[in-house]
Structure formats: C-alpha cells, structure tokens
Amino acid sequence: MRIKLTYESLDGDIVLPKHYNHHIQALIYKTFTPDLATKLHNIGFPLGKRKFKLFTFSRILEKGILSKDNEKLIFKRKITIYFSSPIEDIVGNLAERSFKEREFELCNKKIYISQLEIVTTPKIENKVIIKALSPITIYSTLYKKDGEKIVHYYKPIDKEFSKLMEKNAKKKYHLLYGKDAEQMSLEIKPLKFSVQENLKIIKFKDTIIEGYTGIYELVGDPELIYLTYETGLGNKNSAGFGMWEIWRGKESDEDA
C-alpha cells in the first residue's frame, strides 16, 4: 500500500540539510504511535541475522534550491513524499496519525499535513519499466584478513547487482508470506542509466551510502516484482532507498 504525503509551512520556506534522509525518517517515526515506532526501530521483522523494517519512502518530489554554502536545500513552503509498506497497519498508522496530529516539526520548522492521497496500485506484469523515486542500493559486507570490515556497493552494471536484488526480494517474500520463493525469479536491467550521472552519495547519520537513480527494466514473477514496489528494491529501504514507480515515458526524466 502506498500513500502520498504533502507537508506545508505557514511561515516561509522549508530548509533541510542536503543529506536529509535521516530527518525524513525521523519525521516518519515521530508520526507513528510510540508503540509501533519502538517496535519497528528496535525489533523490526527479523530473519536470521537481519532485521527488516518493511517500509520505504521516496526522495522529496519537489526540487530544492541548493544554498550558497552547498550544504542545504531550500523548498518553497511545500514538500511531498511517497511512503509505502506491504503491511497495511503500518501505512494506516502513519496516515491516521498524520491527520490526527496535523502539526509536526522538521529541522526546527513547523510543518502541517495539507494533503494525503492513497496511490492507486499499478498493474504489475512479468516485465515492467520503472523509474527510481529514491536511489537503489545493494551491498555486501566483506572482511579483510585482519578482520577489518568493508562494505562494497554494487553498480547496476555489475552482474552481482541483479543477483543480490533477487536474493533480497526472496528474503522479504519469505518473511512476509512464510513461503519459499526459490522457484521465483527477479532480474533488474539498467535502461536509461549512467554510472556517473545516476550515482547518488547519501550521508545517513555517519554512514556514507552509494545508490543509483535511473530507468530500469524488471523481469520476473509479478508477485516478487510487486513486493519490491511496496517494500523497496535492495537494501536500506527504511532509510529512504529503493522506492520505484512505473515509468510511463511521459514525465520529466531530469531526476530519473
């Protein structure tokens, strides 16, 4: 289930750090009921050694103006994001609390919910063309001989990129439905993509994350593709990575 949230300021522009993912995530957690926020943050949905949060959100849809010091983005009174989760109670909790509370604080600025829209679920077939609404990231944790940990981020042109995306989606499917997804398949291919232009380096708290925007083709089982529509593709979904929408080829590709 996916919703579209629009926040407005009644007192001037909304100014956010250039790397704002952490602040949007914090806004989401502050909007949840305390019980749900604590459960998702501390426990999530465990599978083996991993803890999934099973929600994701987009980049801000409006285009911010970069400040002179190159550190902040200035938005003209309004910001809009998408939020999605395969668990309706999570989406419902955020929607209900958004209307109930109305007033929120984001980076010391009072903002208000001005619009909340339930997004119509798209028709998913075994092949879809998608546009990344937030950078897509997948990585492996490697170790040197001395035990030092290295996080290796894969590029969409790497053969491991698609394989790891499929593996990640199958884990989420098993976690959600309790069914084996080994016979299912998912392949992602970059269509309109440049390693240089689509690379997005995001600082999330003290962690540097590499992700990629762009236009991609997803091929595979519709159930598995749809799951990634609701949970996000790849890693770091709850930090604002991996959200996508069906690409119609009509809207501007400036931020694709």
The whole-model pTM stands at 0.94
- Picking from 99, 118, 137, the residue at the C-terminal end of a domain is 118
Q: How many CB atoms lie within 10 A of CB 168?
A: 22
State the burial class of residue 88 (Cβ atoms within 10 Å of its Cβ: 0-12, 13-18, 19+).
Answer: exposed
Per-residue pLDDT at 254: 53
Per-residue tokens: 40:
């998702």
- List CB contacts of 111: < 8 A, sequence separation 6 or more: 7, 8, 9, 14, 79, 103, 104, 105
In a domain, 33, yes or no: yes
Q: SS3 for 1?
A: coil
Interatomic CA distance for residues 137 and 139, integer angstroms: 7
- Residue 138 covered by a domain: yes
Query: What pLDDT sits at residue 144?
Result: 80
- The number of distinct structural domains making up the chain is 2
Quote the domain boundaries for residue 86: 2-118
251 belongs to a structural domain: no
- Tens-digit pLDDT string for the chain (256 aa): 999 999 999 899 999 999 999 999 999 999 999 999 999 999 999 998 889 999 999 999 999 999 999 999 999 999 999 999 999 999 999 999 998 988 999 999 999 999 999 999 999 999 999 999 999 999 999 888 787 889 999 999 999 999 999 999 999 999 999 999 999 999 999 999 999 999 999 999 999 999 999 999 999 999 999 999 999 999 999 999 999 999 988 655 555 5
Tell me whether strands 186-192 and 78-84 are parallel, antiparallel or unpaired.
unpaired
pLDDT at 256: 57
CATH of the domain at 210: 3.30.70.1900
